[in-house]
Amino acid sequence: KAGVTQTPRYLIKTRGQQVTLSCSPISGHRSVSWYQQTPGQGLQFLFEYFSETQRNKGNFPGRFSGRQFSNSRSEMNVSTLELGDSALYLCASSPIAEPQETQYFGPGTRLLVL
Amino acid sequence: AQSVTQLGSHVSVSEGALVLLRCNYSSSVPPYLFWYVQYPNQGLQLLLKYTSAATLVKGINGFEAEFKKSETSFHLTKPSAHMSDAAEYFCAVTSSGGSYIPTFGRGTSLIVHP
């Protein structure tokens, strides 16, 4: 099976712009989670979607949003970008939403905000 | 609530030496524990996980970890380090009956000297 894919891999934006990142999970996986990774804060959970419904949300401002489509592909959007949004954004998928399930990560999208 | 503490943001070993990466967890219910590895410019990859079947868990690339409930620990070990083991290692916890969203530690960077 193909792994989790994320597009684009690299992105440069300026403050105030908005950005949309895409994630295609492993075929058959219904749960998709998004994380922000920075050197200062580590891995922080953004949100999780299961069967097109947001079931969990981390402690991020409303500028961060996401959605999941019927084919389980997911997008996340960040509006009004700030310098502090520069990070590696990781998407992970799992077959079902259970605590013992492994998270399968994509390579990430590295966002630089200037 | 659940949390993970990884002692030591950086661990340096010589090639061929024992690798020991420490992870302590906090969970009010029985935990599931994971170790993930992240190589440069890549996403996280599962090394091994504890799901209550056996306290000593063997993973990929010669790594293993032992679940010790009395010490609330899940330390990662490898008898002999290889240059290719140089990476960032993350411990994560979920809990049975609780959140299936993993809480990650801050990560430990393993440096292997020739």
Query: pLDDT digits over A8-23, tens only?
Result: 999 999 999 999 999 9
Q: How far is CA A50 from CA A75, A95, A96, in A?
A: 13, 10, 8
| Cis peptide, bond prior to residue A8, ω within 30 of zero | yes
Are the beta carbons of B43 and A106 separated by less than 8 Å? yes
Q: Identify the pLDDT of residue B77.
A: 98
Instruction: List chain B residues with pLDDT less than 70.
Output: 98
Q: How many residues does chain B have?
A: 114
| Separation CA B101–CA B95 (nearest Å) | 9
Structure-token pair, residue B96: 């049975």
Phi, psi dihedral angles at A77 (to 5 degrees) = -125, 140
Closest in B95, B99, B106 to A42, CB measured = B106
| Separation CA A111–CA A91 (nearest Å) | 14
B99 shares contact with chain A (CB less than 8 Å): yes
Q: Identify the pLDDT of residue A28.
A: 93
* Whole-number CA gyration radius for chain B: 13
What type of residue is B44?
L
pLDDT band for position A63 (50/70/90)? very high
Are the beta carbons of A42 and B49 separated by less than 8 Å? no
